Structure 1
Amino acid sequence: MTTPASNEVTLEGVSKAFGPTTVLQNLDLTISAGELVTVLGPSGCGKTTALRILAGFEKPTAGRVLVGGRDLTSVPPNRRGIGMVFQAYSLFPNLTVQDNVEYGLRVRKVVREKRRRTAQEMLEMCGLGKFASRFPAQLSGGQQQRVALARALATQPEVLLLDEPLSALDAIVRVQIREEIRRLQQQLGITTMFVTHDQEEALAIADRVAVLRNGVIEQIDVPHEVYQAPATQFVARFVGTVTELGVDAGFQGGRLPVRAPGAGLDTVFIRPEDLTLVPEPEGECTVVSQIYTGERTTIRAAGAAHDADGRPLELVTSVSAAEAADMTPGTRVSPFVMSAPALRLPADAGRPAAESAQSAHAGAAR
């Protein structure tokens, strides 16, 4: 039997209930030593509860927490060797940046000279060396989050946990801090769990992504597989945008009929980059909107058919600005697909009623 690396993390059969409400259901998750896994899911799916159980702030109803093969299920948080960064920076406003970063070392009774040196090293690593004497109120949100990261890293934790650490930052700063976290995590080789509801964030930063729904992992895989080959309808809809249509079993590509999923039809989930809309005077769809995003333009078109809720079926594609010029709202278009869909469910797959057809707007709601 292979001995786990000292900082490999395992949640083994972990369940958690709060009264009659079950939040996690027999969750199995292993994060290899030095790996960064994002746990992605909607609000209430159990992702933060899983992180808090790993940190020791919640006790599982059933199951075990292992780090390096050691059972830490009953070990208090301060003895687990785990660093945490929260959405709220949780810095001490009356302490300087230097003293905030030193705080964990001071609690561990590290001698002053060593803790000063370690804190300075962490601040330099996080690009904050010149801010050591400032107070948190004198820093931007991004700088404060860097201080929180430096503080978490200063104790040299075996495991780093990040709970929605970027959600309070603006878009440009989010990307900068995200890249900084990834650089430091790889440089230091820290086993990391990163919890987020933001799919772009999850795909960009992770070695693997675990998609959680109702306390159960629906899929865990490398980012491009989660996006390009979703294991379930939920993953297809939650990660990215899809066009969801019904097709005959023999359909293998080409001109795409615009039909709602239903009895006797396979259901296909098609990513925007795999769908082509061709302007044609007799096209069965009509362009309803363009969303310019810089490098690409998102085109949404409506078909004559309707879904189970009576809404026109919507198709979504992503094109260059030059192509978008020929597809202004009102243009008649015909859909074509030349690639295999991200997911195809056979007509007899048997889908729960709660997952009835919801065409093309999965990504828009997030």
Structure 2
Amino acid sequence: MTESTTAVRQEAGNDVVFDGITKSFGSTQVLQSIDLHISSGELVTVLGPSGCGKTTALRILAGFEKPSSGRVLVNGQDITSVPANRRGIGMVFQAYSLFPNLSVQENVEYGLRVRRVDRGKRAARAKELLEMCGLAEFASRYPHQLSGGQQQRVALARALAIQPGVLLLDEPLSALDAIVRSQIREEIRRLQQQLGITTMFVTHDQEEALSIADRVAVLKDGVIEQLDEPRTIYQKPSTEFVARFVGSVTEVGATRDYRGGALPVQHPEAGLDTLFVRPEDITLVPDEDGSCTVISQIYTGERTIVRATNPANDLEVTSSVSAVEASDLVPGTRVTPQVMSTPALRVSANKQNPAEQVTV
């Protein structure tokens, strides 16, 4: 790591705090008393469906929107009323927003030029970042001469050039194809960890959120439903919304004394607990007297997704199995679903008790 890179890391130690942030547009409340602490050097993804308020939260931190109430603090300083151009925050958008008439190097230098940084220092900083992003050989090219992935790397380098204390990424990968998206995601994470930049990453993509983050904040209707490490979000969702939104689940009704084994395949209804079970936690056992019938297989490479229904009520059960297991589960096979691990979530029948995880 170069001396200048080390300096960036030292200057980038900034906690971010949303303290009771509320935002309304007219009569529509978009954010409701958001409390969120992003530790120095941490990458937090804000995940949620369209319209949940995630981009509004990011824009408030960037200084493009003012909260209706509450405070934003960076490194202990209240920046709620500080103009966007004085916050020292880097931002990467979904649309790369590169200047078409400037070369790659000139795009990366732009923020430094606005800040009247000496030409030699600008050039050295741009060269360093282009090397870090694998773009050194493209310095003299123009945006239209680059692929989408290369343009996004330039946008990232430009955001990092000003040595921001905080980096914001607003759906930065959604315009890229799957392979390039994965590559850029890994590049962002590598640079973020190398430079130690406190980062807020907004996305609606579950895989993206889980794979890149230290912690994930799941938003619904302007409220943080759960804030946890990715593994906890997936394996132990705290609400029904999180269980349904992150990953796939089979929802079934079960009696209060059910503790695993053969799954009573019935619709959730009054008097029954509701189990939220991940596909990898369900196995389908071939059984002539089984409660379900296999209706389809979807081959995904490493795993095969097998779906089965209960003929009596059309409730669908989804299982993720190996290719070997799938060979015994052709459509038409009668099966007995079994839960092999702890359900992701179990909600009590009376719904007065908190959601819980029940060990199988």
Shorter-chain TM-score: which interval?
over 0.9
How far is the alpha carbon of 1:350 from its aligned partner?
A: 4.9
Q: Is the 8 A contact 2:293 2:309 kept in 1?
A: yes
Question: In 1, Cα distance between the equivalents of 2:65 and 2:31?
Answer: 12
Tell me the equivalent position of 2:18. 11
What amino acid is the match of 1:280?
D
Question: What stretches of structure 1 of length at least 5 have no aligned partner?
Answer: 307-311, 352-366
1:209 aligns with one of 213, 216, 220? 216
What amino acid is the match of 1:101?
V
Q: Does 1:87 align with 2:94?
A: yes
Q: Which moved more, 1:279-288 or 1:209-218?
A: 279-288
User: Which digits, 9 at most, give the CA deviation of each residue in 1:291-327, with x for residues without a partner?
Assistant: 1110001111111343xxxxx2111110111111111
Identity percentage of aligned residues: 73
How far is the alpha carbon of 1:337 from its aligned partner?
A: 0.8
What amino acid is the match of 1:225?
T
Q: How many residue pairs are counted as aligned between the two chains? A: 342
1:331 aligns with one of 333, 347, 350? 333
Moved over 4 A (4+): none
Q: Is the 8 A contact 1:243 1:315 kept in 2?
A: yes
Structure 2 residue matching 1:167: 3-state secondary structure: coil
How far is the alpha carbon of 1:340 from its aligned partner?
A: 1.4
Structure 2 residue matching 1:11: 3-state secondary structure: strand
Tell me the equivalent position of 2:289. 282
2:346 aligns with one of 344, 347, 365? 344
Tell me the equivalent position of 1:356. none
TM-score, length of structure 1 as denominator length: 0.92
Q: Is the 8 A contact 1:6 1:69 kept in 2?
A: no
- Counting only pairs closer than 5 Å after superposition, residues 3-82 of structure 1 correspond to structure 2 as 6-82=13-89
2:116 aligns with one of 109, 116, 120? 109
How far is the alpha carbon of 1:338 from its aligned partner?
A: 2.4
Tell me the equivalent position of 1:319. 321
Structure 2 residue matching 1:7: 3-state secondary structure: coil
User: Which digits, 9 at most, give the CA deviation of each residue in 1:54-77, with x for residues without a partner?
Assistant: 000000001001000100000011
Tell me the equivalent position of 1:357. none
How far is the alpha carbon of 1:282 from its aligned partner?
A: 1.8
User: Which digits, 9 at most, give the CA deviation of each residue in 1:9-60, with x for residues without a partner?
Assistant: 0010000000111000000001000000000000000000000000000000
How far is the alpha carbon of 1:180 from its aligned partner?
A: 0.2
Q: Is the 8 A contact 2:166 2:199 kept in 1?
A: yes
1:123 aligns with one of 122, 130, 144? 130
Question: In 1, Cα distance between the equivalents of 2:203 and 2:331?
Answer: 35
Q: Which moved more, 1:226-235 or 1:318-327?
A: 318-327
Question: What stretches of structure 2 of length at least 5 have no aligned partner?
Answer: 1-11, 354-360
Q: Is the 8 A contact 1:35 1:192 kept in 2?
A: yes
How far is the alpha carbon of 1:196 from its aligned partner?
A: 0.3
Structure 2 residue matching 1:304: 3-state secondary structure: coil
